Structure 1
Amino acid sequence: MPVIDVHAHVGRWQFHLTGGDADDNLRQMDRYGIDRQLVSASEAVVHDAIAGNRALSAALATRPRLLGYAVVNPNRIDDSAADLRRCLDTGRFVGAKIHTHYPGRAPGSSQLAEAFDLVAEAGVPLLLHTWGREVELLPDLVSARPGLRVIMGHAGGDAWREAAHAAAACDRLYLEHCRTATDAGRIAYAREAGVPITRFLFGTDATLVDPSLALGVLRDADLTAGELERVLWQNATELFQLPAL
Protein backbone atom coordinates (compact mmCIF):
# COMPACT_ATOMS: atom_id res chain seq x y z
CA MET A 1 0.00 0.00 0.00
CA PRO A 2 1.46 3.43 -0.90
CA VAL A 3 2.18 5.86 1.92
CA ILE A 4 2.24 9.67 1.64
CA ASP A 5 3.46 11.66 4.63
CA VAL A 6 2.00 15.17 4.50
CA HIS A 7 3.85 16.65 7.49
CA ALA A 8 7.63 16.47 7.60
CA HIS A 9 10.65 18.75 7.67
CA VAL A 10 14.12 19.02 6.17
CA GLY A 11 16.98 20.44 8.21
CA ARG A 12 18.29 20.72 11.73
CA TRP A 13 16.34 21.96 14.74
CA GLN A 14 17.39 23.60 17.98
CA PHE A 15 16.78 20.29 19.75
CA HIS A 16 19.24 17.43 20.32
CA LEU A 17 18.58 15.48 17.14
CA THR A 18 20.78 13.64 14.66
CA GLY A 19 18.74 14.38 11.52
CA GLY A 20 19.92 17.22 9.37
CA ASP A 21 19.53 17.01 5.62
CA ALA A 22 17.14 15.72 2.98
CA ASP A 23 19.01 12.43 2.65
CA ASP A 24 18.15 11.72 6.30
CA ASN A 25 14.50 12.04 5.30
CA LEU A 26 14.96 9.55 2.49
CA ARG A 27 16.70 7.02 4.73
CA GLN A 28 13.91 7.28 7.29
CA MET A 29 11.29 6.96 4.56
CA ASP A 30 12.93 3.75 3.36
CA ARG A 31 12.93 2.35 6.89
CA TYR A 32 9.19 2.90 7.35
CA GLY A 33 7.92 2.33 3.82
CA ILE A 34 7.00 5.95 3.09
CA ASP A 35 6.84 6.56 -0.66
CA ARG A 36 6.39 10.32 -0.80
CA GLN A 37 6.89 13.05 1.77
CA LEU A 38 5.74 16.68 1.85
CA VAL A 39 8.31 18.78 3.67
CA SER A 40 9.00 22.29 4.89
CA ALA A 41 12.44 23.63 5.78
CA SER A 42 13.14 23.88 9.50
CA GLU A 43 15.18 27.01 8.75
CA ALA A 44 12.12 28.56 7.10
CA VAL A 45 9.86 27.68 10.03
CA VAL A 46 12.14 28.89 12.81
CA HIS A 47 14.52 31.52 11.41
CA ASP A 48 14.07 32.92 7.90
CA ALA A 49 11.20 31.81 5.69
CA ILE A 50 12.63 33.07 2.42
CA ALA A 51 16.17 31.75 2.93
CA GLY A 52 14.83 28.42 4.16
CA ASN A 53 12.47 28.05 1.21
CA ARG A 54 15.34 28.80 -1.15
CA ALA A 55 17.54 26.13 0.41
CA LEU A 56 14.68 23.62 0.34
CA SER A 57 14.09 24.31 -3.35
CA ALA A 58 17.67 23.25 -4.09
CA ALA A 59 17.24 20.06 -2.07
CA LEU A 60 13.97 19.16 -3.81
CA ALA A 61 15.44 19.56 -7.28
CA THR A 62 17.33 16.25 -7.06
CA ARG A 63 14.98 14.27 -4.78
CA PRO A 64 11.71 13.46 -6.58
CA ARG A 65 10.22 11.60 -3.60
CA LEU A 66 10.15 14.87 -1.65
CA LEU A 67 7.71 17.72 -2.38
CA GLY A 68 7.72 21.09 -0.67
CA TYR A 69 5.64 23.42 1.42
CA ALA A 70 6.64 27.06 1.03
CA VAL A 71 6.67 28.57 4.52
CA VAL A 72 4.73 31.84 4.76
CA ASN A 73 5.73 34.31 7.49
CA PRO A 74 2.66 36.30 8.61
CA ASN A 75 4.97 39.06 9.84
CA ARG A 76 6.48 39.60 6.36
CA ILE A 77 3.43 39.14 4.20
CA ASP A 78 4.58 41.12 1.14
CA ASP A 79 7.91 39.30 1.01
CA SER A 80 6.16 35.98 1.55
CA ALA A 81 3.68 36.67 -1.26
CA ALA A 82 6.45 37.06 -3.82
CA ASP A 83 8.35 34.10 -2.38
CA LEU A 84 5.32 31.82 -2.48
CA ARG A 85 4.88 32.57 -6.17
CA ARG A 86 8.54 31.81 -6.82
CA CYS A 87 8.34 28.51 -4.99
CA LEU A 88 5.16 27.35 -6.73
CA ASP A 89 6.61 28.27 -10.11
CA THR A 90 9.35 25.66 -9.64
CA GLY A 91 6.78 22.86 -9.78
CA ARG A 92 8.39 21.23 -6.73
CA PHE A 93 6.22 22.95 -4.11
CA VAL A 94 2.62 21.82 -3.71
CA GLY A 95 1.39 23.77 -0.70
CA ALA A 96 2.07 26.42 1.93
CA LYS A 97 3.02 26.05 5.58
CA ILE A 98 2.34 28.47 8.43
CA HIS A 99 3.64 27.96 11.93
CA THR A 100 1.75 30.01 14.49
CA HIS A 101 4.09 29.82 17.50
CA TYR A 102 7.43 30.91 16.03
CA PRO A 103 6.09 34.10 14.36
CA GLY A 104 3.74 34.64 17.29
CA ARG A 105 0.56 34.98 15.21
CA ALA A 106 -2.42 32.84 16.16
CA PRO A 107 -5.82 32.44 14.49
CA GLY A 108 -7.76 35.62 15.15
CA SER A 109 -4.81 37.93 14.48
CA SER A 110 -4.93 40.33 11.55
CA GLN A 111 -1.54 39.08 10.35
CA LEU A 112 -2.71 35.49 10.10
CA ALA A 113 -5.88 36.62 8.34
CA GLU A 114 -3.71 38.27 5.67
CA ALA A 115 -1.65 35.11 5.37
CA PHE A 116 -4.81 33.06 4.91
CA ASP A 117 -5.91 35.44 2.16
CA LEU A 118 -2.55 34.98 0.44
CA VAL A 119 -2.72 31.19 0.48
CA ALA A 120 -6.37 31.18 -0.59
CA GLU A 121 -5.48 33.30 -3.61
CA ALA A 122 -2.63 30.94 -4.49
CA GLY A 123 -5.09 28.04 -4.50
CA VAL A 124 -2.87 25.50 -2.74
CA PRO A 125 -3.51 23.57 0.48
CA LEU A 126 -2.18 25.05 3.71
CA LEU A 127 -0.53 23.03 6.47
CA LEU A 128 -1.19 25.05 9.62
CA HIS A 129 0.51 24.33 12.93
CA THR A 130 -2.35 24.06 15.43
CA TRP A 131 -1.99 23.76 19.17
CA GLY A 132 -4.66 24.95 21.55
CA ARG A 133 -8.26 26.04 21.61
CA GLU A 134 -7.76 28.72 18.97
CA VAL A 135 -8.69 25.93 16.51
CA GLU A 136 -12.29 26.80 17.39
CA LEU A 137 -11.87 29.95 15.28
CA LEU A 138 -10.87 28.06 12.14
CA PRO A 139 -14.30 27.05 10.73
CA ASP A 140 -15.35 30.69 10.33
CA LEU A 141 -11.92 31.81 9.07
CA VAL A 142 -11.78 29.07 6.43
CA SER A 143 -15.44 29.33 5.40
CA ALA A 144 -14.93 33.05 4.71
CA ARG A 145 -12.21 32.22 2.14
CA PRO A 146 -13.60 29.93 -0.60
CA GLY A 147 -10.20 28.99 -2.00
CA LEU A 148 -8.69 27.98 1.33
CA ARG A 149 -8.16 24.35 2.38
CA VAL A 150 -6.41 23.86 5.70
CA ILE A 151 -4.71 20.84 7.19
CA MET A 152 -4.68 21.16 10.96
CA GLY A 153 -1.18 19.97 11.74
CA HIS A 154 -1.10 17.99 15.01
CA ALA A 155 -4.93 18.11 14.92
CA GLY A 156 -4.96 20.83 17.53
CA GLY A 157 -2.32 19.24 19.78
CA ASP A 158 -3.70 19.18 23.29
CA ALA A 159 -6.99 20.57 21.91
CA TRP A 160 -7.64 17.56 19.67
CA ARG A 161 -11.26 17.33 20.78
CA GLU A 162 -11.89 20.96 19.80
CA ALA A 163 -10.07 20.36 16.51
CA ALA A 164 -12.32 17.39 15.76
CA HIS A 165 -15.45 19.50 16.17
CA ALA A 166 -13.91 22.31 14.11
CA ALA A 167 -13.25 19.90 11.24
CA ALA A 168 -16.76 18.53 11.50
CA ALA A 169 -18.11 22.08 11.12
CA CYS A 170 -16.17 22.94 7.94
CA ASP A 171 -15.65 20.70 4.93
CA ARG A 172 -12.33 22.36 4.02
CA LEU A 173 -10.61 21.52 7.31
CA TYR A 174 -8.50 18.36 7.43
CA LEU A 175 -7.04 16.51 10.42
CA GLU A 176 -3.45 15.28 10.66
CA HIS A 177 -2.65 13.75 14.04
CA CYS A 178 1.13 13.64 14.46
CA ARG A 179 2.49 14.72 17.85
CA THR A 180 4.79 13.42 20.57
CA ALA A 181 1.96 12.57 22.99
CA THR A 182 0.00 9.70 21.45
CA ASP A 183 -3.32 10.00 23.28
CA ALA A 184 -5.43 6.96 22.47
CA GLY A 185 -8.70 7.32 20.61
CA ARG A 186 -8.10 10.64 18.86
CA ILE A 187 -9.12 9.45 15.39
CA ALA A 188 -12.12 7.53 16.71
CA TYR A 189 -13.27 10.63 18.58
CA ALA A 190 -13.04 12.77 15.46
CA ARG A 191 -15.01 10.27 13.44
CA GLU A 192 -17.73 10.16 16.09
CA ALA A 193 -17.79 13.96 15.96
CA GLY A 194 -18.71 13.73 12.28
CA VAL A 195 -15.42 14.10 10.38
CA PRO A 196 -15.55 11.84 7.27
CA ILE A 197 -12.67 9.51 6.51
CA THR A 198 -11.92 11.58 3.40
CA ARG A 199 -10.58 14.39 5.59
CA PHE A 200 -7.95 12.51 7.58
CA LEU A 201 -4.33 12.65 6.43
CA PHE A 202 -1.19 10.82 7.51
CA GLY A 203 1.68 12.92 8.86
CA THR A 204 4.73 12.09 10.97
CA ASP A 205 6.53 15.35 11.90
CA ALA A 206 9.71 13.67 10.65
CA THR A 207 12.57 14.00 11.14
CA LEU A 208 11.73 15.87 14.34
CA VAL A 209 9.63 12.90 15.50
CA ASP A 210 10.12 9.25 14.53
CA PRO A 211 7.36 8.04 12.15
CA SER A 212 6.68 5.03 14.38
CA LEU A 213 4.56 7.22 16.65
CA ALA A 214 2.21 8.29 13.85
CA LEU A 215 1.97 4.75 12.57
CA GLY A 216 0.97 3.64 16.06
CA VAL A 217 -1.82 6.22 16.17
CA LEU A 218 -3.22 4.75 12.94
CA ARG A 219 -3.01 1.22 14.35
CA ASP A 220 -4.94 2.40 17.42
CA ALA A 221 -7.68 3.75 15.14
CA ASP A 222 -8.65 0.24 14.00
CA LEU A 223 -9.39 1.31 10.42
CA THR A 224 -10.65 -1.00 7.71
CA ALA A 225 -8.36 -1.71 4.76
CA GLY A 226 -10.27 0.76 2.61
CA GLU A 227 -10.20 3.45 5.30
CA LEU A 228 -6.48 2.93 5.80
CA GLU A 229 -5.85 3.46 2.09
CA ARG A 230 -7.82 6.68 2.28
CA VAL A 231 -5.73 8.03 5.15
CA LEU A 232 -2.32 6.77 4.02
CA TRP A 233 -2.40 8.04 0.45
CA GLN A 234 -5.68 8.54 -1.38
CA ASN A 235 -6.80 11.67 0.48
CA ALA A 236 -3.42 13.33 0.04
CA THR A 237 -3.31 12.43 -3.65
CA GLU A 238 -6.67 14.09 -4.22
CA LEU A 239 -6.07 17.14 -2.02
CA PHE A 240 -2.67 17.97 -3.55
CA GLN A 241 -3.51 16.64 -7.04
CA LEU A 242 -0.45 14.40 -6.99
CA PRO A 243 0.51 11.96 -9.77
CA ALA A 244 -0.29 8.34 -9.03
CA LEU A 245 2.33 6.29 -7.21
Structure 2
Amino acid sequence: MIIDVHAHWGPWFFTMDVADLNHAAMDRYGITHAIVSATEAVIYDPATGNRALARWLEGAERHYGYVTVNPRRLAQAERDLAEYLPTGRFKGVKIHTDYTRSPATSPQLREALALVAAHGVPALVHTWGETVLDLARTCLDIPGLKVIAGHMGADGHRFAIEAAAACAQLYLEPCYSHAPARRIAEVVAGVDPRRLLFGTDSTLIDPASAFGAVAAADLDEETSELIAWRNAAELFGLDVTP
Protein backbone atom coordinates (compact mmCIF):
# COMPACT_ATOMS: atom_id res chain seq x y z
CA MET A 1 0.00 0.00 0.00
CA ILE A 2 1.18 3.53 -0.80
CA ILE A 3 -0.35 6.83 0.33
CA ASP A 4 0.79 9.92 -1.55
CA VAL A 5 0.45 12.89 0.82
CA HIS A 6 1.51 15.56 -1.69
CA ALA A 7 -0.49 15.47 -4.91
CA HIS A 8 -2.65 17.81 -6.97
CA TRP A 9 -5.90 17.81 -8.89
CA GLY A 10 -6.76 20.03 -11.84
CA PRO A 11 -4.94 21.74 -14.72
CA TRP A 12 -1.85 23.86 -14.27
CA PHE A 13 -1.14 27.34 -15.65
CA PHE A 14 1.02 26.03 -18.48
CA THR A 15 0.33 23.48 -21.22
CA MET A 16 -0.11 20.16 -19.49
CA ASP A 17 -3.04 17.81 -20.08
CA VAL A 18 -3.25 16.60 -16.50
CA ALA A 19 -6.88 16.94 -15.53
CA ASP A 20 -7.58 13.21 -15.87
CA LEU A 21 -4.14 11.81 -15.07
CA ASN A 22 -4.57 11.31 -11.32
CA HIS A 23 -5.81 7.74 -11.49
CA ALA A 24 -3.55 6.79 -14.40
CA ALA A 25 -0.44 7.90 -12.52
CA MET A 26 -1.58 6.15 -9.35
CA ASP A 27 -2.22 2.89 -11.19
CA ARG A 28 1.12 3.02 -12.96
CA TYR A 29 3.05 3.28 -9.69
CA GLY A 30 0.80 1.35 -7.34
CA ILE A 31 -0.36 4.37 -5.32
CA THR A 32 -3.40 3.27 -3.36
CA HIS A 33 -4.59 6.63 -2.03
CA ALA A 34 -3.61 10.26 -2.61
CA ILE A 35 -4.33 13.44 -0.68
CA VAL A 36 -4.71 16.25 -3.19
CA SER A 37 -5.03 20.00 -3.27
CA ALA A 38 -6.82 21.80 -6.09
CA THR A 39 -4.37 23.54 -8.39
CA GLU A 40 -6.89 26.34 -8.86
CA ALA A 41 -6.98 26.85 -5.08
CA VAL A 42 -3.20 26.90 -4.73
CA ILE A 43 -2.40 29.12 -7.71
CA TYR A 44 -5.47 31.32 -8.10
CA ASP A 45 -8.37 31.37 -5.66
CA PRO A 46 -8.84 29.05 -2.66
CA ALA A 47 -12.62 29.51 -2.48
CA THR A 48 -13.39 28.40 -6.05
CA GLY A 49 -10.68 25.73 -6.09
CA ASN A 50 -11.79 24.14 -2.83
CA ARG A 51 -15.41 24.16 -4.02
CA ALA A 52 -14.49 22.41 -7.28
CA LEU A 53 -12.37 19.84 -5.47
CA ALA A 54 -15.19 19.09 -3.03
CA ARG A 55 -17.49 18.23 -5.95
CA TRP A 56 -14.87 16.03 -7.60
CA LEU A 57 -14.06 14.15 -4.39
CA GLU A 58 -17.66 12.97 -4.15
CA GLY A 59 -16.86 10.37 -6.81
CA ALA A 60 -13.16 9.78 -6.09
CA GLU A 61 -12.89 6.97 -3.56
CA ARG A 62 -9.09 6.72 -3.72
CA HIS A 63 -8.55 10.42 -3.10
CA TYR A 64 -8.85 12.69 -0.10
CA GLY A 65 -8.52 16.46 -0.14
CA TYR A 66 -6.62 19.32 1.40
CA VAL A 67 -8.53 22.52 2.09
CA THR A 68 -6.21 25.12 0.58
CA VAL A 69 -5.77 28.15 2.82
CA ASN A 70 -4.38 31.58 1.98
CA PRO A 71 -3.02 33.00 5.26
CA ARG A 72 -3.90 36.50 4.03
CA ARG A 73 -7.58 35.53 3.69
CA LEU A 74 -8.32 33.96 7.04
CA ALA A 75 -12.02 34.78 7.09
CA GLN A 76 -12.44 32.79 3.88
CA ALA A 77 -10.24 30.05 5.31
CA GLU A 78 -12.46 29.72 8.37
CA ARG A 79 -15.55 29.42 6.19
CA ASP A 80 -13.96 26.75 4.00
CA LEU A 81 -12.67 24.71 6.94
CA ALA A 82 -16.09 24.80 8.58
CA GLU A 83 -17.76 23.70 5.36
CA TYR A 84 -15.42 21.01 4.02
CA LEU A 85 -13.75 19.29 6.95
CA PRO A 86 -17.03 17.86 8.33
CA THR A 87 -17.65 16.06 5.02
CA GLY A 88 -14.89 13.59 5.85
CA ARG A 89 -13.45 13.91 2.34
CA PHE A 90 -10.91 16.57 3.39
CA LYS A 91 -8.19 15.41 5.77
CA GLY A 92 -5.90 18.41 6.12
CA VAL A 93 -4.87 21.88 4.98
CA LYS A 94 -2.52 22.98 2.20
CA ILE A 95 -0.58 26.26 2.45
CA HIS A 96 1.83 27.45 -0.21
CA THR A 97 3.97 30.11 1.42
CA ASP A 98 5.43 31.48 -1.82
CA TYR A 99 2.26 31.93 -3.86
CA THR A 100 0.51 33.60 -0.92
CA ARG A 101 3.54 35.72 0.04
CA SER A 102 3.25 34.36 3.58
CA PRO A 103 6.70 33.10 4.63
CA ALA A 104 7.14 30.80 7.60
CA THR A 105 8.24 33.71 9.75
CA SER A 106 5.20 35.86 8.96
CA PRO A 107 2.40 36.61 11.43
CA GLN A 108 -0.07 35.63 8.71
CA LEU A 109 1.23 32.08 8.52
CA ARG A 110 1.38 31.84 12.30
CA GLU A 111 -2.31 32.82 12.53
CA ALA A 112 -3.24 30.39 9.77
CA LEU A 113 -1.45 27.51 11.48
CA ALA A 114 -3.12 28.34 14.78
CA LEU A 115 -6.45 28.07 12.96
CA VAL A 116 -5.41 24.71 11.53
CA ALA A 117 -4.42 23.44 14.96
CA ALA A 118 -7.79 24.48 16.35
CA HIS A 119 -9.46 22.25 13.75
CA GLY A 120 -7.24 19.29 14.67
CA VAL A 121 -5.94 18.41 11.20
CA PRO A 122 -2.41 18.39 9.75
CA ALA A 123 -1.12 21.08 7.41
CA LEU A 124 1.10 20.54 4.38
CA VAL A 125 3.28 23.64 4.06
CA HIS A 126 5.65 24.43 1.20
CA THR A 127 9.30 24.63 2.28
CA TRP A 128 12.49 25.30 0.36
CA GLY A 129 16.03 25.62 1.65
CA GLU A 130 16.36 27.12 5.11
CA THR A 131 12.65 27.93 5.33
CA VAL A 132 12.09 24.48 6.83
CA LEU A 133 13.94 25.73 9.93
CA ASP A 134 11.67 28.77 10.08
CA LEU A 135 8.63 26.52 9.88
CA ALA A 136 9.88 24.38 12.76
CA ARG A 137 10.38 27.45 14.94
CA THR A 138 6.87 28.67 14.18
CA CYS A 139 5.36 25.26 14.90
CA LEU A 140 6.93 25.10 18.34
CA ASP A 141 4.79 28.06 19.42
CA ILE A 142 1.46 26.47 18.41
CA PRO A 143 0.21 23.69 20.73
CA GLY A 144 -1.36 20.67 19.08
CA LEU A 145 -0.20 21.58 15.59
CA LYS A 146 1.08 18.90 13.20
CA VAL A 147 2.80 20.10 10.05
CA ILE A 148 4.26 18.39 7.02
CA ALA A 149 7.25 20.17 5.51
CA GLY A 150 6.51 19.86 1.81
CA HIS A 151 9.62 18.87 -0.20
CA MET A 152 11.45 18.58 3.19
CA GLY A 153 13.33 21.71 2.27
CA ALA A 154 14.10 20.54 -1.30
CA ASP A 155 17.79 21.41 -1.70
CA GLY A 156 17.86 22.11 2.06
CA HIS A 157 17.25 18.55 3.23
CA ARG A 158 20.02 18.82 5.80
CA PHE A 159 18.14 21.76 7.30
CA ALA A 160 15.09 19.49 7.39
CA ILE A 161 16.99 16.99 9.54
CA GLU A 162 17.84 19.79 11.94
CA ALA A 163 14.26 21.07 11.90
CA ALA A 164 12.78 17.66 12.67
CA ALA A 165 15.18 17.22 15.57
CA ALA A 166 14.06 20.55 17.01
CA CYS A 167 10.31 20.08 16.56
CA ALA A 168 8.46 16.83 17.24
CA GLN A 169 5.35 18.27 15.53
CA LEU A 170 7.12 18.36 12.16
CA TYR A 171 6.83 15.63 9.51
CA LEU A 172 8.82 15.42 6.28
CA GLU A 173 7.87 14.35 2.76
CA PRO A 174 10.45 14.06 -0.03
CA CYS A 175 9.10 15.20 -3.41
CA TYR A 176 11.55 17.37 -5.33
CA SER A 177 12.23 18.15 -8.98
CA HIS A 178 15.84 16.99 -8.58
CA ALA A 179 17.30 13.81 -7.11
CA PRO A 180 20.59 14.50 -5.29
CA ALA A 181 22.51 11.37 -4.39
CA ARG A 182 21.79 9.99 -0.90
CA ARG A 183 19.28 12.73 -0.04
CA ILE A 184 16.65 10.28 1.22
CA ALA A 185 19.20 8.04 2.92
CA GLU A 186 20.63 10.98 4.86
CA VAL A 187 17.21 12.08 6.07
CA VAL A 188 16.18 8.57 7.10
CA ALA A 189 19.42 8.16 9.03
CA GLY A 190 18.88 11.43 10.89
CA VAL A 191 15.13 11.53 11.58
CA ASP A 192 12.70 9.34 13.53
CA PRO A 193 11.21 7.16 10.75
CA ARG A 194 7.74 7.61 12.26
CA ARG A 195 7.82 11.22 11.04
CA LEU A 196 8.60 10.47 7.40
CA LEU A 197 5.93 10.37 4.69
CA PHE A 198 5.76 9.71 0.96
CA GLY A 199 4.84 12.43 -1.53
CA THR A 200 5.26 12.83 -5.28
CA ASP A 201 4.05 16.33 -6.28
CA SER A 202 1.94 14.63 -8.96
CA THR A 203 0.60 15.81 -11.33
CA LEU A 204 3.20 18.56 -11.53
CA ILE A 205 6.04 16.01 -11.33
CA ASP A 206 5.91 12.41 -12.51
CA PRO A 207 5.84 10.06 -9.49
CA ALA A 208 8.85 8.24 -10.93
CA SER A 209 11.10 10.91 -9.43
CA ALA A 210 10.00 10.28 -5.84
CA PHE A 211 9.86 6.51 -6.30
CA GLY A 212 13.38 6.43 -7.71
CA ALA A 213 14.77 8.59 -4.93
CA VAL A 214 13.25 6.42 -2.21
CA ALA A 215 14.29 3.19 -3.94
CA ALA A 216 17.88 4.43 -4.16
CA ALA A 217 17.96 4.80 -0.37
CA ASP A 218 17.73 0.98 -0.04
CA LEU A 219 15.52 1.11 3.05
CA ASP A 220 14.71 -1.85 5.25
CA GLU A 221 11.22 -3.33 5.03
CA GLU A 222 9.90 -1.80 8.26
CA THR A 223 11.06 1.72 7.39
CA SER A 224 9.75 1.40 3.85
CA GLU A 225 6.30 0.46 5.13
CA LEU A 226 6.21 3.33 7.61
CA ILE A 227 7.07 5.83 4.89
CA ALA A 228 4.86 4.26 2.22
CA TRP A 229 1.62 4.36 4.19
CA ARG A 230 1.57 3.58 7.90
CA ASN A 231 2.70 7.02 9.08
CA ALA A 232 0.27 8.79 6.76
CA ALA A 233 -2.64 6.59 7.80
CA GLU A 234 -1.99 7.40 11.45
CA LEU A 235 -1.37 11.12 10.91
CA PHE A 236 -4.51 11.68 8.82
CA GLY A 237 -6.70 9.15 10.60
CA LEU A 238 -7.30 7.10 7.45
CA ASP A 239 -9.13 3.81 7.81
CA VAL A 240 -7.10 1.82 5.28
CA THR A 241 -5.67 -1.68 5.20
CA PRO A 242 -3.07 -3.20 2.85
Q: TM-score range by the shorter chain?
A: over 0.9
Asked whether 1:212 is paired with 2:219, we answer no
TM-score by length of 2: 0.97
Match of 2:18 in 1: 19
Superposed displacement of residue 144, structure 1: 1.4
Superposed displacement of residue 44, structure 1: 0.2
1:190-221: per-residue Cα shift (whole Å, max 9, x none)? Answer: 2343x111111000000110001000111111
Give the 5 Å matches for 1:94-109.
94-109=91-106
The 10-residue stretch of structure 1 (233-242 or 158-167) with the greater mean CA deviation from structure 2: 158-167
- Determine helix, strand or coil for the equivalent of 1:189: helix
Tell whether the 8 Å contact from 1:165 to 1:190 is kept in structure 2 after alignment.
no
Superposed displacement of residue 14, structure 1: 1.5
- Determine helix, strand or coil for the equivalent of 1:13: coil
Structure 2: distance between partners of 1:144 and 1:111:
14
Structure 2: distance between partners of 1:180 and 1:212:
11
- Determine helix, strand or coil for the equivalent of 1:75: coil
1:37-65: per-residue Cα shift (whole Å, max 9, x none)? Answer: 00000000000001100000000000110
1:109-154: per-residue Cα shift (whole Å, max 9, x none)? Answer: 1111111111111110100011121221222211211211010010
Give 2:11's aligned amino acid: R
Give 1:17's aligned amino acid: M
Give 1:196's aligned amino acid: D
- Determine helix, strand or coil for the equivalent of 1:151: strand
Match of 1:227 in 2: 223
Give 1:58's aligned amino acid: R
- Tell me, which stretches of 5 or more residues in structure 1 are unaligned? none
Match of 1:65 in 2: 62
Structure 2: distance between partners of 1:161 and 1:226:
23
Asked whether 1:6 is paired with 2:5, we answer yes
Paired residue total: 241
- Determine helix, strand or coil for the equivalent of 1:39: strand
- Call closer, same or farther: CA 1:34–1:192 in 2, change over 3 Å: closer
Match of 2:155 in 1: 158
1:20-39: per-residue Cα shift (whole Å, max 9, x none)? Answer: 2xx42011111111100000
Give the 5 Å matches for 1:107-118.
107-118=104-115
- Tell me, which stretches of 5 or more residues in structure 2 are unaligned? none
Give 2:54's aligned amino acid: S
Of residues 84, 107, 111 in structure 2, which corresponds to 1:87? Answer: 84
Structure 1: distance between partners of 2:172 and 2:131:
15
Match of 1:242 in 2: 238
Superposed displacement of residue 166, structure 1: 0.2
